[in-house]
Amino acid sequence: MKKYPFLVLIAGLAVLIFTQQKIIMPLVYEVIKSDLFLVDSKDTASPLPISTPLTALAFMHCNNHIKTLLGPDTSIAFPDKPLNAWSLGNYQYVINAEIGITSNTSNTNKKKYACRINYKNGDDQEGVNDSNNWSVVGLSGLDNL
């Protein structure tokens, strides 16, 4: 082995590639084909922007979250509806909108933001108006405030 370290390296790589292709990847494909990651929901994903009552509620809850983050010293003007809203399926949404922010210096800045939010109760629509049933997963575009 001391005489041929390069051959040992090549043989080791060949064994690793063979193991990956013939043993590990078939197992991964079987797990992917199974129902392990399947979530059965009435809310389907949409690759195009949509406007539904739930996206409107998601927009409202994102705006309320932004209000609490910025505090009472900042005046915020929200539009009536978002620029775009996407359903990711299983009651997960991405909201894209633009807001006007006025701080103590009386400068109004327009900021675009993206908010990822999900409704925790799934197909049970009883509590869609309760903000405790929604969770903001991510918010971007308002980092410098």
Q: Is residue 24 part of a domain?
A: yes
74 with 129, same domain: the answer is yes
- Please answer whether residues 81 and 51 qualify as being in contact, where contact means their C-beta atoms are separated by less than 8 angstroms: yes
Q: Are strands 134-140 and 75-77 parallel, antiparallel or unpaired?
A: unpaired
Which domain does 31 fall in, by range?
1-38
Q: Examine the domain organization and report whether 33 and 57 are in the same domain.
A: no
- Token couple for 94: 């991405």
Q: Is residue 13 part of a domain?
A: yes
What CA–CA distance (Å, rounded) separates 89 from 67?
26
Candidates 120, 113, 105; CA nearest to 143 is 113
For residue 20, the SS3 value is helix
Determine the 3-state secondary structure of 109 from DSSP.
Answer: strand
**Residues near 5 by Cβ (< 8 Å), separated by ≥ 6?**
none
Contact by Cβ (8 Å): 119, 91: yes
**Which is more confidently placed, 120 or 72?**
120
Does residue 69 sit in the same domain as residue 136? yes
Question: What is the arithmetic mean of pLDDT over 106-134?
Answer: 85
Task: Answer yes or no: is 46 within a domain.
Answer: no
Question: Does 86 share its domain with 129?
Answer: yes
- Write the CB contacts of 53 (distance below 8 Å, at least 6 apart in sequence): none
Q: Same structural domain for residues 64 and 120?
A: yes
Quick: pLDDT tens for 31-90: 888 777 766 777 777 888 888 888 999 999 999 998 888 877 778 888 889 999 999 888
Mean pLDDT of the chain: 86
Q: Where are the alpha helices (DSSP H) in 20-111?
A: 25-33, 53-70
Number of domains the chain is built from: 2
> pTM above the 0.85 mark?
no
Residue 30 lies in a domain: yes
- pLDDT value of residue 14: 95
Residue 125 inside a domain? The answer is: yes
Count of alpha carbons within 13 angstroms of residue 10, beta-carbon side: 4
* DSSP class of 104: T
